[in-house]
Amino acid sequence: MTENGVMSRAKVLTIDTMNPTVKKVEYAVRGPIVQRAVELERELSEGMKKPFAEVIRANIGDAHAMGQQPITFFRQVLALCSYPELLSDNTFPEDAKSRACRILQSCGGNSLGAYSASQGIDSVRHDVARYIERRDGGVPCDPDDIYLTTGASDGIVTMLKLLVCGEGAGRTGVMISIPQYPLYSAALAELGAVQINYYLNEEKCWSLDISELQRALDEARRYCNPRALCIINPGNPTGQVQSRECIEDVIRFAAKERLFLMADEVYQDNVYADGCQFHSFKKVLFEMGPEYSETVELASFHSTSKCYMGECGFRGGYMEIINMDEEVKAQLTKLLSVRLCPPVPGQALMDLVVNPPRPGEPSYDSFIKERTATLSALAEKAKLTEQVLNTVQGISCNPVQGAMYSFPRITIPDKAINEATDQGQLPDMFYCMKMLEETGICLVPGSGFGQKDGTYHFRMTILPPRDKLKILLNKVKEFHQKFTQQYS
C-alpha cells in the first residue's frame, strides 16, 4: 500500500490483530453522544452560535458536577489527612482532627501517599464490617470478607474475571437485568463471557419476576454455562427498589440454580418512594437461615460515588464476599495485587462514610443537616421528574423509586425511525442526538442500557438543582412535542 509515493508499513496493532473481544466493548455512559457533547461545549466556548447557552450533562450520575455540595466533615478530614500541618489550624473541628489522626496512623509513614495492603487498610475494613453489622441489624460481618476497591466498578470487574472461564457451550454465562448499567455488558464483552439477559417488567414499575429469571436461565443453559446472577438494587437506570419478598425469591432462585449472586448496592441510601425500603442482600440472606446463609455465594458492592456523598472522583468502594471458596479467595487476592492497592484517599473517605459523626460530636449536627438536605432534594427531584415527564404525550415515566435516574419510555414516530435507520443510527440515539443538537441536553439513549425490542427510552439524571431541573424537563417536553410534530 503506497501513499504519496512512500511505502506505508502495516502496523503491528490493527483492528484485525487486536484482541477481538475488546472490539465488542461499549460503554454508552461515556460513548459517542457524550463525545459529541464535548465537541459542542468546545464550539460554544469558541463563540459558535447554538440554540442553547450551555450543554447540560444529564448523562452521567455525577452529583457534584450538577452542583451538589460535598459533606463538609468529610472534606475537612481529607484535607487534614492530605496536609497534616493543618492540624494546628483552629478552624477545623476537633472531631475532624482526631479522625484524621486515626486515619493517618493506619497509613504507612502516616501518609496518604504510601501503598496500603492490596485488600485495603485493615482498620478501614474493620470499620466497614461494623457499618455493615449496624446497617443489617446485627448480622455479623467478618472484616476478612471485606475488600476495598477503586470504586465499585473495580470490584465488579474483578469478580467477573474470577467467574468467567470455559469454552464453547461451557463458556460462563452471567445473568444481568435488562435494562442494565453498561459496565456489566462492557466487562462481559471484554471477558468474552456470555451475557444472559433477564427483562425487568416495565409495566409493573420495572419489577423483577422470578419466572422471567427462570425463562432466561433455561434458555441460556442450551448454549452456555450460567454461573452468576447480577442484580442492581436500587436499580440503574430504572430506579426500582426491590421488595424484601423479591430479594428472598432471588436468593432462593440463586440457591436452587447454583448461581453466584452479585448485588450492586451503590445506591443504597438513595431511596425516595413511600413504601420503599432498602434491604441488603446480605441481611436478607442471613435472615433466611443457615440453609441459605451458609451456602449461597454472594458479593455485595458499595461505593463513595453515589448516595448522599457523590464523591465519584475519589474512586472509593468496597465489596463484601460471602461463602467464597478459600482457594478462589487466594486467586482473588492475586488478581487484586496486580493493581497494587485502591486509592488511599478513597479508602479514607470510605472510612468516614461508614463511620460518620455520632450524636454529641461537634460535627454531628451539620453532618445530619447536610445529608438530610441532599437526600430530600433528590427525593423531591425524583418526584418532579416523574410528574413533568408524565405530562408529555408520548413519554411515560415509571416512578423513580430510588437511585439517580429517570428511564422514561418514549414513542418515536415511524418516520423518525426510518430516517434513523437510513442514517445507520438506532432510533433512540437519533432522538437523543437531535435533542443534544437542539437543546444542549445530553442524555443516554436506552439502547445503551438494553431495552425490549421495539421500545425506546432515554436515561436522564435527576441531579441538576431543582430549578434548573424544572427548566430542563420542560425543554425535554418541548423538544419531544416538536420532534413528534416534525416526524408525524
Partner 1 sequence: MKQLEYAFMAKLAIHIKEQLRKGVKKPYKTIIDVSFGDPHKAGVKPLTFARQVIAACTYPKLMNSDKLPLDAKQRAQWLLDRCPGQSVGSYTATAGIPETVHKISAFITRRDGGAPSDPKNIFITAGSQWALMNILNVLVNKQASPRTGVLTPAPGHDKAVLSIVGMGGETIPYYLTEEQGWALQVEELQRALDSAQGVCKPVALYVINPGNPAGHVQSRKSIQEVIRFVSEKRLFLLADEVYQDCVQGENTEFVSYKRVLNEMGPPFSETVELASFHSVSKSVMGECGLRCGYVELVNVDPAVMKHIFTLFSKGSCSPVLGQIALDVMINPPQPGDPSYTLYNQETQHIRDMLIQNAKRVYEVVNSLPGLSCQPVDGGAFAFPRVFLPPKAIKKAKDLGMEPDTFYSVRLLEEAGVFVRPGCGYKQKKDTYHIRFCIMTPRDMMDELLGRLTSFHRKFMMDFA
User: CB under 8 A: which stretch of 8-16, 232-240, 319-327, 406-414 binds partner 1?
Assistant: 8-16
Name the residue nearer to partner 1 (CB basis): 76 or 300.
76
Calpha distance 445→247 (Å, rounded): 29
Name the residue nearer to partner 1 (CB basis): 145 or 154.
154
Name the residue nearer to partner 1 (CB basis): 314 or 407.
314
Among 54, 111, 245, 325, binds partner 1 (CB under 8 A): 111
Among 101, 335, 375, 426, binds partner 1 (CB under 8 A): 335
Please report how close the Cβ of residue 325 comes to partner 1 at its closest, in angstroms.
17
Under 8 Å CB-to-CB from 258, ≥6 apart: which residues?
A: none
Name the residue nearer to partner 1 (CB basis): 335 or 426.
335
Please report how close the Cβ of residue 347 comes to partner 1 at its closest, in angstroms.
8
Among 46, 85, 203, 422, binds partner 1 (CB under 8 A): 85
- The gap from C-alpha 49 to its chain's centroid, in whole angstroms, comes to 35
What's the burial of 446, exposed, middle or buried (CB within 10 Å: 0-12/13-18/19+)? buried
Name the residue nearer to partner 1 (CB basis): 2 or 14.
14
Q: Which three cell numbers stand for residue 366?
A: 451539620
Please report how close the Cβ of residue 109 comes to partner 1 at its closest, in angstroms.
4
Q: Of 145-204, which residues contact partner 1 (CB under 8 A)?
A: 150-151, 153-154, 161, 182-183, 186-187, 190, 192
Q: Of 42-61, which residues contact partner 1 (CB under 8 A)?
A: 57, 60
Name the residue nearer to partner 1 (CB basis): 65 or 205.
65
Please report how close the Cβ of residue 87 comes to partner 1 at its closest, in angstroms.
11
User: CB under 8 A: which stretch of 86-94, 252-260, 274-282, 292-300 binds partner 1?
Assistant: 86-94
Calpha distance 74→209 (Å, rounded): 40
Calpha distance 262→324 (Å, rounded): 12
Task: Determine, following the binding rule CB under 8 A, whether residue 19 of this chain makes contact with partner 1.
Answer: yes
Please report how close the Cβ of residue 233 comes to partner 1 at its closest, in angstroms.
21
Please report how close the Cβ of residue 8 comes to partner 1 at its closest, in angstroms.
9
Strands 444-445 and 456-461: antiparallel
Kindly state the DSSP code that residue 11 receives in the 8-state scheme. P
**Alpha-carbon separation of residue 230 from 198, 264, 453 (angstroms):** 10, 7, 21
Beta partners for 148?
318
Alpha helices in 391-441 (DSSP H): 414-422, 427-439
3-state secondary structure of 173: strand
What does the DSSP assignment read for 293-332? HTT--EEEEEESSSTTT--GGG-EEEEEEES--HHHHHHH
Calpha distance 375→380 (Å, rounded): 9
User: CB under 8 A: which stretch of 73-81, 128-136, 290-298, 388-396 binds partner 1?
Assistant: 73-81
Please report how close the Cβ of residue 108 comes to partner 1 at its closest, in angstroms.
3
Say how many residues make up the chain.
488
Please report how close the Cβ of residue 399 comes to partner 1 at its closest, in angstroms.
27
User: CB under 8 A: which stretch of 69-77, 317-325, 367-375, 387-395 binds partner 1?
Assistant: 69-77
Cα of first residue to Cα of last residue in the chain, in angstroms, is 49
Q: Residue 40 carries which side chain, given as an amino acid letter? A: L
Q: Which three cell numbers stand for residue 388?
A: 413533568
Among 115, 169, 368, 391, binds partner 1 (CB under 8 A): 115
Among 2, 45, 91, 105, binds partner 1 (CB under 8 A): 91
Q: Of 263-322, which residues contact partner 1 (CB under 8 A)?
A: 309-315
Q: Please, are residues 226 and 173 in contact by the beta-carbon 8 Å criterion?
A: yes
Task: Determine, following the binding rule CB under 8 A, whether residue 247 of this chain makes contact with partner 1.
Answer: no
Q: Of 338-377, which residues contact partner 1 (CB under 8 A)?
A: 338-346
How many residues in the shown chain lie near partner 1 by CB under 8 A?
A: 80
Under 8 Å CB-to-CB from 395, ≥6 apart: which residues?
A: 389, 408, 409, 410, 411, 476, 477, 480
Task: Determine, following the binding rule CB under 8 A, whether residue 466 of this chain makes contact with partner 1.
Answer: no
